[in-house]
Amino acid sequence: MAKISFKPGNMLYPLPVVMVTVADLAGSTNIITVAWAGTVCTNPPMASISVRPSRYSYHMLKETGEFVINLTTSALTHAADYCGVKSGRDVDKWKETRLTPVKSDIVKAPCIAQSPVNIECIVVQTEQLGSHDLFLAKVVAVHADEQYMDEKGGFHLENANPVVYSHGGYYDLGSKVGKFGYSVQRGGHRRSTSGKA
């Protein structure tokens, strides 16, 4: 299979689309859509986001060192896009998107009520990397919408229709093609990487 060489760049797609909520010391809040967010560590649980210093939310992150990662769904795609292209300097994103702020358990930044998962984070390290600063944070609380819990206590985010971002587009996840460990289970379906069965 022929490959075309690209200049070095960020081609790690798809990415989770998350709305990050922040607050400053005066109590003002904002929502910023971030595609550069990720899991960093299991124990202790840690996550990261990358934000340009020019963004309105940046000073809030620096002031409080706290934020909430709010997962998005197909129903929240319009709001997520709006919060990514509009600045909190110019508009009240809560009002314009009709999203509902809910008091967090630990951090000053609010959770978004409509999000199926809210992850409260406290920054432990900030790295100036170039165009973006990386905020490395410890997860201090997690909230999950009970409507996606089963009778055994299992959480089914897939039922919320989560979305991802890839090359300028938003996409739902589509159908399930496997589960963790299925490739080594007896009777597990093997998929060919050559394109031939």
- What structural domains does the chain harbor? 15-184 (2.30.110.10)
Residue range 78-92, pLDDT digits in tens: 999 999 999 999 999
Q: How would you write the pLDDT of the chain (197 residues) with one tens digit per residue?
A: 898 888 887 778 889 999 999 999 999 999 999 989 999 999 999 999 999 999 999 999 999 999 999 999 999 999 999 999 999 999 999 999 999 999 999 999 999 999 999 999 999 999 999 999 999 999 999 999 999 999 999 999 999 999 999 988 999 988 888 888 988 887 655 554 444 44
Q: Which tokens belong to 13?
A: 């797609």
Rounded CA gap, 140 and 69, in Å?
12
* Confidence (pLDDT) at 179: 87
Q: pLDDT value at position 188?
A: 56
Q: Which of 126, 132, 139 is nearest to 61 (CA)?
A: 126
pLDDT for the residue 190: 56
* Coil, helix or strand at residue 167: coil
Interatomic CA distance for residues 160 and 148, integer angstroms? 7
Q: pTM for the full model?
A: 0.90
Q: What's residue 191's pLDDT?
A: 53
